[in-house]
Amino acid sequence: MILPSVVEAIGDTPLVELSRICARLELDGRIVAKLDYLLPGFSKKDRAAKAIIEMARRDGTLAPGQMVVELTSGNMGTGLAIVCGILGHPFVAVMSAGNSVERARMMRALGAEVVIVPQAAGSKPGEVSGADLAMVDEAAQRITQERGAFRADQFGHVGNPKAHESGTGPEIWAQSDGAVTAFCDFAGSGGTLAGAAAYLGPKGVRCYAVEPEGARAIAGETVTQAEHPIQGGGYAMGDLVHLNGTALAGHLSVTGDAAREGARLLAQSEGIFAGFSAGANLAAAVDLLRGPEKGGCVAIVMCDSGLKYLSTDLWE
């Protein structure tokens, strides 16, 4: 089948069993990984980008040819650059200087205008804090107003979780033949977790939020260490709109080191070249099989490609 555009290639990624890792770590149970790093923009955010833009075009909030603006760690921006480029919308990505340079280069290559916002005082390069994200959001709001643009608003637009409720969740369930007993995801906007849980939860799948150790805001804990290297999430934001009303079985935490080790283990044991958040998801799934989900089947998402971290310490 020949697709009319690359936008139609967004979705239906493979689900792979991580049997080598489970054997190496002597785990009682299974881990299955959704390879969303194989999507056109090399990340799961392609799904949300497509859903938000198509929904906005249908309901008239996005006019033909109108500019689109969004804050991004790089993944949502890449997805939007692809979708907007195909559908004829100029796109401006607003991004913190703390994110890896590969992301900005990729978005520019795809035709996006990229605005880099300096980090907040005390922030570390390679680590994006909630304060950094607030500054990016302020810049995105200003640019949206100045240019009469449409704000994609991944933290608020319903298209984000809907993409995973209609795509990621059903795909995992069908591809596993209903064998999945748990799902966990490192939360950024919360869209993947909320959407997948909306579909998988009613089928008895227990869903867990994953956050950085010391920054478990979703769990309702006091943030003691907002700094971490896991780009694309863990912003120490406890008020994620998409997760309002989401039934969670629990809250997990991972360290930056555990996420780094997880990503390297995925590459070396399974040939899956994914990023920091995929490593975080693996670390959390391992904890689940050593704890409350022992003997079960845990599904995780390989959120983005390891190619987006070549300038970081992930592969040193």
Residue-wise pLDDT tens digits, 276-286: 999 999 999 99
Q: Are residues 224 and 79 in the same domain?
A: no
What are the residue ranges in the chain where pLDDT is below 70? none
| pLDDT the model gives residue 285 | 98
Rounded Cα distance, 275 and 292, in Å: 26
| pLDDT the model gives residue 166 | 98
| pLDDT the model gives residue 123 | 81
Q: Are residues 143 and 166 in the same domain?
A: no
Q: Which domain holds residue 167?
A: 6-43+158-315
Residues 115-161 have pLDDT tens digits of: 999 998 888 777 777 788 889 999 999 999 999 999 999 999 999 99
Domain-embedded: residue 174: yes
Q: Are residues 146 and 214 in the same domain?
A: no
Q: Which of 120, 151, 182 is the last residue of a domain?
A: 151
Q: Are residues 13 and 97 in the same domain?
A: no
Q: Are residues 291 and 311 in the same domain?
A: yes
Predicted model pTM: 0.95
Enzyme catalytic residues: 45, 277
Q: Are residues 119 and 172 in the same domain?
A: no
Contact (Cβ atoms closer than 8 angstroms) between residue 123 and residue 102:
no
Q: Are residues 14 and 55 in the same domain?
A: no
Q: Are residues 137 and 25 in the same domain?
A: no
Rounded Cα distance, 238 and 249, in Å: 17
Residues 300-310 have pLDDT tens digits of: 999 999 999 99
Strand order in the sheet with 113-117: 113-117, 91-96, 68-72, 150-151
The CATH number for 98's domain is 3.40.50.1100
Residue 60 burial by Cβ neighbours in a 10 Å radius (0-12, 13-18, 19+)? exposed
Q: Which of 151, 167, 192 is the last residue of a domain?
A: 151
| pLDDT the model gives residue 131 | 84
| pLDDT the model gives residue 225 | 82
| pLDDT the model gives residue 127 | 76
| pLDDT the model gives residue 224 | 84
- Give the count of domains, the chain: 2
Q: Are residues 130 and 228 in the same domain?
A: no
